[in-house]
Structures are given as C-alpha cells and as structure tokens.
A and B are shown apart, each in its own frame.
Chain A
Amino acid sequence: MKRRDFLKLGGATAFAALFGGCDNLPKKLVPFVIPPENYTLGESLWYASVCRQCPAGCGIVVRVSEGRAKKIEGNPLHPVNSGKLCARGQAGLQALYHPERLGRPLKLSGPRGSGKFTETSWEDALSILMTGLKKIRAEAPGSLLMLAEPMRGHRNLVVHRFLRAFGAPAPVAWDPFGHDALLAANEDVFGIRDIPEYDIANARYLLSFSGDFLETWLSPVHYGRAYGRMRQERPTVRGKFVHFGPRLSMTAANADVFLPIAPGTEGFAALGIAHVMVREKLTPSPAASSLWTAGLRQMTPETVGEKTGLRPSDIEAVAREFAGNQPGLAIAGDGAAGCTNGTFHFSAAALLNVLAGNLGKPGGLSFPDRRSAFPRAGADASTLAPLPESGFASVRNTLEKMRGGAFQVALLSGETNPAFTLPAGLKFPESLLSVPLVVSFSSFLDETSSLSDLVLPVPTYLEEWGDDIAPAGHSGDAVGLLQPVIEPFRDARPMPDILIAAAKELGGPVAAALPWKNFRECLEQGYTGMGVNLENARREGGIFSRKGSLSRTAKRAGNPPLPKAIEASYEGDAARYPLVLHVYPSIALSDGRGANLSWLQEMPDPISTAVWRNWVEVHPKTAESLGIADGDGVVVTSPFGSMEAFAVLHPAVAKGTAAMPLGQGHTRYGRNAAGRGGNPFSLLPVKDTAGAKSHARQSTRVSIAKARIKGKLVRTVNVEGQWKYENIL
C-alpha cells in the first residue's frame, strides 16, 4: 500500500467514524403485519374506480405503490371522461390523506351544536345508534329520517331497502345543483323526464345559454372533451360556439362569440332566435306554424333585444348561422337553472333543438335509457339509477315536519352539507337541533355533522366498494364500479356496511330486506345476478359494453308547446338593493365540499385568478357609481343576510349585477376552509323555481358597501401580462 493510499483510507475512515457516529436516525426495518394484497416494494399498481368528488361519475385509475395511493388519473376506458380528469378529481388524494379526517367515532361532549366531541369506541357508538333505532322501531318507525346527497347504485338500494323495511319515509336527498329545471323542461318539450346525452363532439354549431359545461355543469370533463373534439377532430369543420350569459365564465371565455345578456333573460334570447328561424322559414320542423300562432310571433328580435340587452342584428345573425349549420345544438345550464324562471330557459333551449330537428341524431341530443343497465333489477332499477334532482321541495317539507317534532332519529350522510348550502330562511340548524338523536356518517366535521350527537367516520371513496351510473356520457348500459384502492388506514366503516349490520341486529323484516353479509357481498350478488364477470369489470373500472342504441323515443318531439315566457323575479327593493345577485358554483370548490382541500383552495379561478378568498365581481361602471375600487373590501347585503368579500372589477359582468362564486365562507370545516370570507348561500331567499320546485338561488337583489375587512385578495400573476379593465373598455 502506498503512503498516499494509506492516508486517503485513513481519512475516509475517520470521516465515517466522526460523522457516522453522529447519525442518530433510527435504522429500523419495519415490515407490515399484514401486507396489502399484491404488495411489492417500489412497484406501482393501477386500480380502476369511480370519482366521487362531484356527481358526474368519471372513471379513475389510481396509482398505488407500497400500499398507498399516489396519483389519480382518468380511466381511458370509461365512457364519461375517456382518460381525462379535472382538478377536483385529482385532489381526491388530499381528502384521503387529510390530517383532519375522522379516524374514530365521535360522541357529543358539550351542548348540541357546540361542536365539542370526544372520541369513543365503535362498540359504544353503535350501541347509541342501535338504542335509538330500537326505541322507535316498535312505536314510531316513521320518525326515522335519512338526509343524504343524491345517491346512486347499490348504495342507494341499501338505504332505500333499509328505510322501507324499517317503516321510515324514503331518504331525503339534497344537492344544491340538482337538475330539476332541465328535467321539467324535457318533460314539457320532449315528454321524457330525464337528462339527455348532448352530442357536442359532432355538432357544427353550439349555442349555450349560461350553460357552463366546461366548468361545473352536469359532467364537465365529458363535455369539455367533447368540446375539444367538436373544434379539432374533423379535418374540414371547426364547430362554432356562441355563449349567452350574464357573466364571463371560463366557458364563455372559450366561446367564439360571447354575447352578454341581462341575468334571467336566457329563455327570451332563445325564443328570439326561434322567432327568426320560423319567420325566415329556416326550419323544417312541422312544429313551426303552431308555435308561431301560439305566441312566437311576439318574440321579435326588437322585443327580445330590449329584455336581454342584445342587439336585434346579433339575434338575427346567430339565428341564421344556427339554422344554416346543422347539426346545431342548444344547451342551457347552471347559470340559468337558478332563476325563478329557470324551467322557461331550459324549455326555450330545448325548443331550439326541436326546431333544428336535433333529436336522436349525431350532433344532437338523445335520451339514453340508463335503467337498461339493470335488466333484472325490476322495481329496484329506479333506485339504482335515480334522476338527478335537487330535492329542494322535499327538504323544505321535511324541515317543517322536523320542527313539528315528527322525527326522533335523523341519519345524515354523504358529501351534502345542508347547514351550509340551504338558505338561512329554512332554519336548518334549529330544525335539526329539535331532533332528539342525530347521527352523522361523515369523514370530516363540517357545519352539518357538527350539529349531531354522534359522528361515525366513513371511509373516503378511495377505500370503499360501490357502483355508479353517470348522468352523462354513455348510451345507457355503462356502469362504473368502485373498489377500495388501498386498505383503509383510519378506523372508518362504510355507511352501507353499518346499515347492513344494524339491520341484522334489528332482525325481522329489516334483516330480511338486507340479507347480505356486507356491502361488498350485496354488490357481488347484484352484478353476478345480471351475468357480469365481476373480476373483468373491476379490472376495467366497470361494465362499458355498448349494445347499439338504447335511446328512448320522445313522445312529443314533433309538436312541443311554446314555453310560457316568464320574467325572472327578484326579492328585495330595487332602491335599497340596487344589484342583482348572480351566484355560481365555484369550479374548484363546487358548493363548498372542496373547501377543505388546499390544492383546490390554491387553484386560481380561471377568470379572476383569485385564490384562497371569496370575492364579488362587479362591472367597473357599477363599481364607480358605488365608489368601489378593484380589491376593496366590501360587505354584500341582501334582505336575508350579509357577508364580507373583496371586490373584483370585471368588464364582462352585466351592469347592475353582482356575481359571486359559491363554496367559501365555512365556519366548521377545518383550517383550510376557515376565514375565507362570507358564505354567499347565506344571502339567498327561500324561493322555488317555477315549475321545477328547485331552489331559485338567482332571485335576490343585493347592495354593496365598502368596508374594512381583514386580509387582502390574492391573485396569481396573469400570464398574459397584467390587464387593466380601463384598456379593454
């Protein structure tokens, strides 16, 4: 050995001795007690399942490595999203690993509604639930109430069967963005009460009336993908897209032509187009003459222009283009659904599809028979694929009964958060507090579950069995299957499993109605009975066979009535409350269910680029008259409440309108959701949409006043350079 080598070696050893000795990190090898199935270190497995971050029901594949879910992507085989996934779907991982997720049952330890809970064991928690159920089972089985989000598939079947056998009323489902207006309009115009499948991909011309189909409406990933194909898939045709609406949404920003109109006048714009089409004999539809005599004659571009604020020449131009570019498709969406005359808007848009002769054609709309997926389910088929209604009317009735003392036990389940999303006038918290025993099935403590006596932690959708029929995206026989992609790592139990176990203990007809060992067995029996190879189905994420057209024929497509033109009405005195409030579901937070996920909180709004806070969009001219500058703190007041927000001046908001995203303003939904401004739901009146019985959230006026509020609005840098609204005007 050379001297230099010796010294080098010595140096290396001394280095190791000195610094190796400083290493106090535990050098332990910790094996699993029971490893997850198919577990190999460093090897990824992709499991197919279904997203439940919104009701669209996209198929997902989840990368699982070392027994942990690492990434969620779209399932390429699934007909709803064909391999794509939105930001909310991607953020599902954060719900899974959320530090505030409940891992033990919680028992109330203070007064009801105080939000003070102590952890307890499952035995103790279930004994409280069973004592409550057994007490009312004998005397008053009708006093059991289940309040949930609209459920689909066998999950809904278990709940329905449990309640029916128990003798309790059917579950009350609440979804603030239900599709009542669309369903009612389709019943009026086509004679089918269902959600159509819009073939945007093959349309040459697309008219949207506040239909924000790229953001939140119905099935954004599905229609976003179809929109891309409409623009780019065909070598010679680039479909044209015209958007009418009171606000520049992200969808509007993607249109070829955005025609701003006054809030609540979407239906008039559609009738104006119909008028021009019939007057100029641009439609082959036999319905034209009867519509003309029924009153379409009065809807001249001039009359409509006055109501909507559109130029008559624009209406004529759009009508001619729409008629000349077949197949053309007209849709209406969320922005129109919440008006008091929401059904009218949807009927008028549906009428344009009739005039264009669009039913059942490529590039048009069809009505898939979604219940055909369950040929042998019989009477259960309607609970497996229910209609996506909001349930506002039944929630209202139920709350009245609740205050009258009709319910002894209330079970709350799911993503729905009525204490946050119902207007304050319905007095949801007070009504719920009058129920002697309230049990929540929940992964998080939110405004609603904080009002209960007992919170039973449930797994997230990534740890659960289940199935799903999506409201859009297939011909009717496609079913998505959920499977646990990882072993639940909190002490949570799925809600259907708890109900099945409870049924066993109750015995008698309830146990007979739910004869399965657990929910997984229920699913397996259900699908094996339909002749499905479940192993293959789970591998692919569902059953996606397409056996030709399963569309139903419309009963009335040839000769629809002219929708009755109704003006939108607004609560509040125009002098005291000068602005019309236009609320819309946030693209990131929806109705607020995503507000506890930091990935969604820090996702910039596509138009205002704001993050982490609540804001109100007003037209610069309107703001000038109110003395408000961009970024100012304001208090927004309606006749029903008031809240804090920051002003965002935007030239593409209708004058005299205050536009606000929903979803922020939580008081009990963890640290990420807290302190982000007020809750716009608190400003809303208790009002129905005419003809649909859903909540008319677009039906109040507000006033805006400058105020000092804590913090400031944070916007991400605009990549196109800082725009100034003065330059655009």
Chain B
Amino acid sequence: MQRPSPQAVIAASLFAFALIAASVASFAETPQPVAYSHRIHVTDNKIDCRFCHSSANKSASARIPPVEKCMSCHRVIATDRPEIKKIAQYWREKKPIYWNRVTELPDYVYFPHMRMVNAGVPCLTCHPGMDRADGAVQKREFTMGWCMDCHKKRGVSIDCWTCHI
C-alpha cells in the first residue's frame, strides 16, 4: 500500500478542521430579532409544541406562529418585559417578524411533519433539547443514515421515494 502524499494529508486535515468548525457553527444558537425562549414556554409553562406550531399534524411544514398568536397571550401576560414590548411593536406596525432559520433540510428531501407527528413520533426525537433551549437550536444533524436507522427500527418504509420525491 502506498503512503498518502503530504499534500493529501494536509488537505484531509483541513477538511477535518472544516468539518468540526461547521458542526460547531450549526449547533450554536442563532441570534433572533426577538429573544424567544422555548424553555420558558415549554418547560416552565408546559405549553404543547403544537399550540404554536399548529400545522405540525396537518401539513408538511410545522408552521411558524403568526404575530397574532404571540399577541393572543401577550396582550395581558408579561407585557412589561422588553422582548414582549418588541413583539407588541411589530403588532402595532402590522409587520411580520423575520425569524432566522435554524433547522433546514436540503431541497431534495421531502419531510412531511404531519406523517411523523400523526405516527406518534415525539417532537423532541428530532429536535432534542429544544424544550430547554433559550432560543432555537439544532442539536441533531439530519443525516440520511440517522433517518434510515429510525425508519428501520420502526419498521416503516425505507424506499428511496419515501423522502426523495
């Protein structure tokens, strides 16, 4: 067996470094226009995920709650906090909140939320730690192998066209 050339070793090391850097970056908390805390809502106040992400059992997308949903509670709850005042400001100006996207799948993957939710897969299976996070974080890397493992374990379809339509 031939030894790899020094260039290849350097290149591979650089790749490895880039890999680590990328993973760290993806697990870091993304700054948002409003410092929303999942912990306060889910862990402290026991609000179901689907109260806000109300399309999760009906649609491919779980849905980002409209500003109206935030205001349905925060007209009266914690109205003096600075972050709630920000939301009230959006509401007064009738402007949407431009949230930064945290979780994303490549466009060659079709992931219907309603299939998983209606099959009884808990939200935290794919979004672990979300209930204790201040903000939104992606702790799990959505690799194909990981999806396949779960599909195999549950005995559901592993046909290519299930996800790659």
Q: Chain A residues in contact with chain B, CB under 8 A?
A: 3, 6-7, 9-11, 13-14, 16-17, 20, 27-35, 40-43
User: Which residues does chain B contribute within 8 Å of A35, judged by CB atoms?
Assistant: 66, 68
Known: A27-B101, A29-B98. 14 other contacts (CB 8 A): A3-B4, A7-B15, A10-B18, A13-B16, A17-B21, A27-B100, A28-B99, A29-B64, A31-B65, A33-B91, A40-B63, A42-B61, A43-B55, A43-B59
A11 to B14, CA, bound (A): 10
B98–A13 contact, CB under 8 A? Answer: no
A13–B97 contact, CB under 8 A? Answer: no
A339 to B161, CA, bound (A): 64
User: Which residues does chain B contribute within 8 Å of A11, judged by CB atoms?
Assistant: 15
Is B116 on the interface with A (CB-CB < 8 A)?
A: no
0/1 string, B2-16, CB within 8 A of A gives 1: 001000100110111
Which of A3, A7, A17, A30 makes the CB contact (< 8 A) with B22?
A17
User: Which residues does chain A contribute within 8 Å of B63, judged by CB atoms?
Assistant: 31, 40-41
Closest 7 pairs (CB-CB, A-B): A10-B15, A13-B19, A27-B101, A41-B61, A32-B66, A31-B64, A29-B99
User: Which residues does chain B contribute within 8 Å of A41, judged by CB atoms?
Assistant: 55, 59-61, 63
Q: Give me 24 A-to-B residue pairs in the complex whose CB atoms sit less than 8 angstroms apart, sorted by A's number.
A: A7-B8, A7-B15, A13-B15, A13-B18, A17-B18, A27-B101, A28-B98, A29-B99, A30-B96, A31-B63, A31-B65, A31-B67, A31-B96, A32-B66, A32-B67, A33-B68, A33-B91, A33-B96, A34-B67, A40-B55, A40-B63, A41-B60, A42-B61, A43-B58
User: Which residues does chain B contribute within 8 Å of A14, judged by CB atoms?
Assistant: 14-15, 18
A33 to B94, CA, bound (A): 6
User: Which residues does chain B contribute within 8 Å of A3, judged by CB atoms?
Assistant: 4
Q: Give B58-111 interface residues, CB cut-off 8 Å to A.
A: 58-61, 63-68, 90-91, 94-101, 104
A11 to B90, CA, bound (A): 44
User: Which residues does chain A contribute within 8 Å of B67, judged by CB atoms?
Assistant: 31-34
Q: How far is the CB of A19 from chain B (nearest CB, A)?
A: 12
User: Which residues does chain A contribute within 8 Å of B98, judged by CB atoms?
Assistant: 28-30
| Known pairs A27-B101, A28-B100, A28-B101; A6 contacts B12 (CB<8 A) | yes
* Chain A residue nearest in CB terms to B8: A7
A6 to B11, CA, bound (A): 11
User: Which residues does chain A contribute within 8 Å of B15, judged by CB atoms?
Assistant: 7, 9-11, 13-14
Q: How far is the CB of B159 from chain A (nearest CB, A)?
A: 22
User: Which residues does chain A contribute within 8 Å of B19, judged by CB atoms?
Assistant: 9-10, 13
A27–B104 contact, CB under 8 A? Answer: yes
Q: How far is the CB of A103 from chain B (nearest CB, A)?
A: 16
A164 to B12, CA, bound (A): 87
User: Which residues does chain A contribute within 8 Å of B8, judged by CB atoms?
Assistant: 7
User: Which residues does chain A contribute within 8 Å of B61, judged by CB atoms?
Assistant: 41-42
Q: How far is the CB of B15 from chain A (nearest CB, A)?
A: 3
User: Which residues does chain B contribute within 8 Å of A32, judged by CB atoms?
Assistant: 66-68, 96
B101–A29 contact, CB under 8 A? Answer: yes
A10–B12 contact, CB under 8 A? Answer: yes
User: Which residues does chain A contribute within 8 Å of B100, judged by CB atoms?
Assistant: 27-29
Q: How far is the CB of B54 from chain A (nearest CB, A)?
A: 8
B90–A33 contact, CB under 8 A? Answer: yes
A32 to B67, CA, bound (A): 7
User: Which residues does chain B contribute within 8 Å of A20, judged by CB atoms?
Assistant: 22
Q: How far is the CB of B33 from chain A (nearest CB, A)?
A: 10
Which of B16, B68, B101, B104 makes the CB contact (< 8 A) with A34?
B68
User: Which residues does chain B contribute within 8 Å of A40, judged by CB atoms?
Assistant: 55, 58-59, 63
Q: How far is the CB of B32 from chain A (nearest CB, A)?
A: 10
A46 to B60, CA, bound (A): 19
A31–B97 contact, CB under 8 A? Answer: yes
User: Which residues does chain B contribute within 8 Å of A30, judged by CB atoms?
Assistant: 64, 96-99
Q: How far is the CB of B155 from chain A (nearest CB, A)?
A: 27
User: Which residues does chain A contribute within 8 Å of B14, judged by CB atoms?
Assistant: 10, 14
Q: How far is the CB of A723 from chain B (nearest CB, A)?
A: 45
* Chain A residue nearest in CB terms to B1: A3
Q: How far is the CB of A28 from chain B (nearest CB, A)?
A: 5
A31 to B71, CA, bound (A): 13
A7–B65 contact, CB under 8 A? Answer: no
Q: How far is the CB of A6 from chain B (nearest CB, A)?
A: 6
A34 to B64, CA, bound (A): 12
A123 to B101, CA, bound (A): 39
* Chain A residue nearest in CB terms to B32: A29
User: Which residues does chain A contribute within 8 Å of B22, judged by CB atoms?
Assistant: 13, 16-17, 20
User: Which residues does chain A contribute within 8 Å of B12, judged by CB atoms?
Assistant: 6-7, 10
Q: How far is the CB of B92 from chain A (nearest CB, A)?
A: 10
* Chain A residue nearest in CB terms to B33: A28
A16 to B23, CA, bound (A): 11
A27 to B15, CA, bound (A): 25
A14 to B15, CA, bound (A): 6
* Chain B residue nearest in CB terms to A17: B18
Q: Give B23-70 interface residues, CB cut-off 8 Å to A.
A: 55, 58-61, 63-68
Counting chain B CB atoms within 10 Å of each CB, the highest count among A17, A29, A40 belongs to A29
A31–B99 contact, CB under 8 A? Answer: yes
User: Which residues does chain B contribute within 8 Å of A13, judged by CB atoms?
Assistant: 15-16, 18-19, 22
A202 to B16, CA, bound (A): 80
Q: How far is the CB of A17 from chain B (nearest CB, A)?
A: 5
A10 to B97, CA, bound (A): 37
Q: How far is the CB of A710 from chain B (nearest CB, A)?
A: 46
Which of A7, A28, A42 makes the CB contact (< 8 A) with B60?
A42
A31 to B101, CA, bound (A): 12
User: Which residues does chain A contribute within 8 Å of B68, judged by CB atoms?
Assistant: 32-35
User: Which residues does chain A contribute within 8 Å of B101, judged by CB atoms?
Assistant: 27-29
A34 to B67, CA, bound (A): 7
Q: How far is the CB of B68 from chain A (nearest CB, A)?
A: 5
A14 to B18, CA, bound (A): 7
Q: How far is the CB of A376 from chain B (nearest CB, A)?
A: 40
A31–B66 contact, CB under 8 A? Answer: yes
A31 to B15, CA, bound (A): 37
Q: How far is the CB of A61 from chain B (nearest CB, A)?
A: 21
User: Which residues does chain B contribute within 8 Å of A16, judged by CB atoms?
Assistant: 22
* Chain A residue nearest in CB terms to B65: A31
Q: How far is the CB of B17 from chain A (nearest CB, A)?
A: 9
Q: How far is the CB of B6 from chain A (nearest CB, A)?
A: 15
User: Which residues does chain B contribute within 8 Å of A29, judged by CB atoms?
Assistant: 64, 98-101
User: Which residues does chain B contribute within 8 Å of A27, judged by CB atoms?
Assistant: 100-101, 104
Q: How far is the CB of A18 from chain B (nearest CB, A)?
A: 9
* Chain A residue nearest in CB terms to B57: A40
A30 to B58, CA, bound (A): 19
User: Which residues does chain B contribute within 8 Å of A31, judged by CB atoms?
Assistant: 63-67, 96-97, 99
A34 to B55, CA, bound (A): 15
Q: How far is the CB of A337 from chain B (nearest CB, A)?
A: 51
B96–A42 contact, CB under 8 A? Answer: no
A6 to B104, CA, bound (A): 25
A14 to B11, CA, bound (A): 10
Q: How far is the CB of B44 from chain A (nearest CB, A)?
A: 23
A10 to B19, CA, bound (A): 7
A22 to B63, CA, bound (A): 27
User: Which residues does chain A contribute within 8 Å of B16, judged by CB atoms?
Assistant: 6, 10, 13
0/1 string, B100-144, CB within 8 A of A gives 1: 110010000000000000000000000000000000000000000
User: Which residues does chain B contribute within 8 Å of A43, judged by CB atoms?
Assistant: 55, 58-59
A132 to B15, CA, bound (A): 75
A43 to B112, CA, bound (A): 12
* Chain B residue nearest in CB terms to A14: B15
Q: How far is the CB of B38 from chain A (nearest CB, A)?
A: 15
User: Which residues does chain B contribute within 8 Å of A6, judged by CB atoms?
Assistant: 12, 16
User: Which residues does chain A contribute within 8 Å of B4, judged by CB atoms?
Assistant: 3
Q: How far is the CB of A38 from chain B (nearest CB, A)?
A: 11
A163 to B101, CA, bound (A): 55
Q: How far is the CB of A70 from chain B (nearest CB, A)?
A: 16
A17 to B16, CA, bound (A): 11
* Chain A residue nearest in CB terms to B101: A27
User: Which residues does chain A contribute within 8 Å of B64, judged by CB atoms?
Assistant: 29-31
Q: How far is the CB of A329 from chain B (nearest CB, A)?
A: 51
Q: How far is the CB of A32 from chain B (nearest CB, A)?
A: 4
